[in-house]
Amino acid sequence: MEQNLLPSILVGAFVGLASGYLGSLMVLRKMSLVGDALSHVALPGLALGIIFNFNPFLGAFAALFVSIIFIWTIENKTKLSTETLVGIFFTLSLAIGLIITPEPELLEALFGDISETSALDVAIAVILSLFAIFVVHRIYNKLVLGTISDDLAKSVGTKTKKIDFIFLMIVALIVALGIKVVGTLLMGALVIIPAAASKNLSRNLSNYAGFSAFIGLVSSVVGIYFASVIEFSPGPAVVLASAAIFFISLIFKKD
């Protein structure tokens, strides 16, 4: 392995691990397309980071944070679903992002660029990915219970709206991190595909979450490595790696 590839591999590994873990819940809660749409919501913030020369991760997360506040507030004041509101913000943000993103950097924003990864990028990715996994692990059972029955979750004292908000914020955090790896167009695949493959292989919920995280990690590492070998964009390579694992998982699908 080339020495200068190691930081990129580390970032991809931890972001893939966290994406797979969160993805297990998103697929379980039928929120697969929410993760995909949220990555597009980050585009205007990413563009501002490029234009004003500050860390694009901060811009992406800021855009996601503001959007989720609006989505969560509107959802609680209306009968509109999360998916509907995310769809509205997704199309609006994508339009604004495409307009304001400088054309030379547009492909990087859409498909990711992990070729220039600093020690700070690695530290941020490792710390925030582990933080996201820790927080979601603490509320995992409550989220699953709320998925089964919102009324049942409330009857045992679970504050479902608060838990849902925390989960959405953690998803936003990982989406913002993952954009550097696979870009805004493909981030949804890093969340959805490992969880879908894990569902084919798992015997129980505990295995499901663990397999999903592991597949996310392997997909990212393999995709980034082979992208460097063939001098190709890492985003599509990571998605192709995860898709290959998914199709292999169909052979071993549990009944």
CATH number assigned to the domain comprising residue 149: 1.10.3470.10
| Mean pLDDT calculated for residue range 192-204 | 90
- Checking if the pLDDT of 14 tops 90, the result is yes
| Mean pLDDT calculated for residue range 85-103 | 81
Per the prediction, the chain carries an average pLDDT of 84
Q: Look up the domain containing 91 and give its range.
A: 3-251
- Checking if the pLDDT of 43 tops 50, the result is yes
The reported pLDDT for the residue numbered 185 is 67
CA atoms 88, 73, 191, 45: torsion sign: positive
CA distances to 43, 44, 118, 221, 243 from 48, rounded to whole Å, are 9, 6, 20, 29, 32
pTM of structure: 0.87
d(CA 93, CA 99): 10
d(CA 71, CA 68): 5
Give residues with Cβ within 8 angstroms of 250, minimum separation 6: 200
The reported pLDDT for the residue numbered 245 is 95
Between residues 19 and 157, which one has the greater pLDDT? 19
What's the total number of domains in the chain? 1
CA distances to 19, 131, 135 from 94, rounded to whole Å, are 22, 28, 29
The reported pLDDT for the residue numbered 241 is 94
Between residues 223 and 51, which one has the greater pLDDT? 223
